[in-house]
Chain A
Amino acid sequence: MTTLPTPTPTPTPTPAASLGATASVTPTAPIAPTAPAIELRRVARWYGNVVAVNDVSFALGVGVTGLLGPNGAGKTTLLHMLAGFLAPSAGEVLVLGRRPHRDPSVYRQIGLVPEREAVYPFLTGLDYVKFNARLQGLRDPEGAARAAVARVGLVDAMDRAIGTYSKGMRQRVKVAGALVHDPQVLLLDEPFNGMDPRQRIGMMELLAELATSGRTILFSSHILEEVEQVGTEILVLVAGRLAASGDFRAIRALMTDRPHNVTIRSSDDRRLAVALMADPAIFAVELTESGLAIQTSQLTAFRRLIAGVSRTAGVRLLEVVPADESLESVFEYLVRR
């Protein structure tokens, strides 16, 4: 585990994105160009009369992907199916081309960070990671464990019992245990729970770095800003169905029936407002404390428009900020539909 595969350049995410049940977010995978690392084909899972996951298909290659959805959307069920702890009721789940259920040997290539917080409280952090390394049958468990602990930045605390750890440290030691055997696929269920903002950034950087070195990472979250900062690739699960997938800005751009909000600061807001109101693409303009709040139907068209309008009006643009490009608004939109 001490040596990682030579870093390959970050694959450029494909801008293509689509709304709907079936979608593909396969960025060109440098390691296995033919088969995606994770593939779901029309997967459904129900518990008695309750459908947790309903007819979901997607494929993922190298990179970080965020699995989004409100509580109860079926994120954990989906991750458990990928991790082989649940059989799909219908459809096919493939991880590296194999069905993970009832096949323990796939765990050589899968690292799983479960949602539940409990870790053996009596082990030290290093012992716990070593335990994982030994069960993976690694040749040098000690070395691999130390390297993994260092990766998540827990070296200072590694000789303390996990029972004394904070929530954030527990999350990190779980991640260390999951990547000690250098898996090709890393599945994380709510990995940012209980982390403070600084730890969050550290974990996000780690995930990004792991993706850069050719791994497929899927993590779930119900907090949108987490996803926004790590992965631009998202899967949105709503009530068990895949509501959207792809690059989240591209998804946003597809939502044409909903006005985009843009905030502009300029040298003369009032004059700019008058000039903008003449354009049919502009729905509303409001003068606020912090600048002009504008609603428009077409974001790309608006970007071209604003440059021309400000030049002819003789107004200098200080700042143009899309006000609701945050995932939160995208998400709210998808959930409400």
Chain B
Amino acid sequence: MNSIAIFGEIVRVTLRQLLGRRRTLLLVLLSALPVLLAVAFRMGGETDIERFTRRIFDTVTLTILLPLVAILFGAGAFGAEIDDGTVVYLLAKPIPRWLVVAAKAFAAVAMSIALTGTSTLVAGLVDLAPAGQDGISAVLAQVVAVVVGSVCYAVLFLTLSLFTRRALVIGIGYMLVWEGALSSILPGIANLSIRQYSIGAASAIYNLSVNRTVLVPADTAFLLSGVLIVAALIIATWKLMRFELPGGSD
């Protein structure tokens, strides 16, 4: 019971930390973009599922919004505290380290899902609700993809931020180079691509892939993302137990 209270307290403070004023405004604007585009589509008379998926969900939400937001929150949950030195206040407490990792990861994932999930849901409903049952399935599949992606990106880069201060830049590199460029040249790395896990997981409900081919089947996608999440959390806990502060300016 006490653990729950502690968990809640860490989550609360982390959320306030991640929600800087200007930063949040920028991210909210970014998240609103798919919705605005969806409204433009609707007014232009487009309700075609595929076109919507390709033009908005795939190019904007899945390749830009989701990784940017999830990596930012994931790398920032510990990263900002380590940069400032406030992480000491968190760690000089008789709390098991897995609980600290779990609370930080929860906060980062929750923020990411709150922004990208809402954006995806609203944009999808605006455009695809008239498309009937198929449209609803497509929207649900998109939400599943965003949720799976949020958890994977956030947890992976949260763990990385415990090892290097440049986790965010590495995250952007991963997103641009690995998922963006290399995966189109080398289809073999699909099994190591969070974007492909998202599309794969969503394919349990609806095929969201732009070229109709799902590179990672749904069950494999769930399995791989599960392994990724658990492994990342264990490594993060292991690293946090050995966390060392620098000697300081002393």
Listed in ascending order, the chain A residues whose CB lies under 8 Å from chain B are 47, 52, 71-77, 80, 83-87, 102, 104-108, 110, 112, 114-116, 118-120, 122-123, 131-132, 134-137, 177-178, 189, 220
Contact = CB atoms under 8 A, between A and B. Distances in A.
A106 B94 contact: yes
Given A85-B243, A114-B85, A135 B90 contact: yes
A178 B242 CA distance: 22
Interface in B54-91: 84-86, 88-91
A71 B248 CA distance: 10
Nearest to A74: B250
B16 interface: yes
Contact of B244 (A86, A115, A134, A189): A86
Interface stretch (B1-9, B25-33, B139-147, B202-210): B1-9
Given A80-B245, A85-B244, A102-B242, 10 more contacts: A85-B243, A102-B241, A104-B94, A107-B94, A116-B248, A118-B84, A120-B16, A120-B17, A120-B86, A135-B10
7 contacts: A75-B250, A86-B247, A107-B92, A114-B88, A120-B13, A120-B17, A136-B94
A76 B249 contact: yes
Nearest to B10: A135
Contacts of A74: 247, 250
Given A104-B95, A114-B85, A80 B243 contact: no
B20 to A, nearest CB: 9
Contacts of B89: 119-120, 131-132, 177
A75 to B, nearest CB: 5
Given A122-B16, A123-B13, A115 B93 contact: no
A77 B246 CA distance: 8
Contacts of B242: 102
Contacts of A80: 244-245, 247-248
Contacts of A76: 247-250
B249 A135 contact: no
With a 10 A CB-CB cut-off, give which of A75, A106, A119, A134 has the most chain B CB atoms. A134
Nearest to B88: A114
A320 to B, nearest CB: 38
B2 to A, nearest CB: 5
With a 10 A CB-CB cut-off, give which of B5, B16, B250 has the most chain A CB atoms. B250
Contacts of A72: 250
Contact of B97 (A77, A104, A135): A104
A136 B93 contact: yes
Contacts of B85: 114, 116, 118
A84 B241 CA distance: 10
B173 interface: no
A126 B72 CA distance: 29
Given A72-B250, A104-B96, A136-B93, A85 B245 contact: yes
A120 B249 CA distance: 21
A80 B92 CA distance: 11
With a 10 A CB-CB cut-off, give which of B91, B93, B96 has the most chain A CB atoms. B93
Contacts of A85: 88, 91-92, 243-245
With a 10 A CB-CB cut-off, give which of B5, B241, B244 has the most chain A CB atoms. B244
Given A73-B250, A123-B16, A134 B9 contact: yes
A172 B85 CA distance: 17
A85 B245 CA distance: 6
B244 A87 contact: yes
A115 B248 contact: yes
A71 B247 CA distance: 12
A335 B155 CA distance: 49
Contacts of B96: 104
Interface in B210-250: 241-245, 247-250
Contacts of A119: 86, 89
Given A83-B92, A104-B95, A120-B86, A71 B249 contact: yes
Contacts of A73: 250
B94 A137 contact: yes
A279 B243 CA distance: 62
Contacts of A135: 6, 9-10, 90, 93, 95
Contact of B250 (A105, A108, A110, A115): A115
A206 B39 CA distance: 63
A106 B90 CA distance: 14
Given A102-B242, A135-B6, A135-B10, A110 B92 contact: yes
Q: Enumerate the 3 nearest inter-chain pairs by beta-carbon distance, A residue then B residue, closest first.
A: A76-B250, A116-B85, A76-B248
B119 to A, nearest CB: 25
Contacts of A123: 13, 16
Contact of B86 (A118, A137, A220): A118
B17 A104 contact: no
A309 B178 CA distance: 89
Contacts of B10: 135
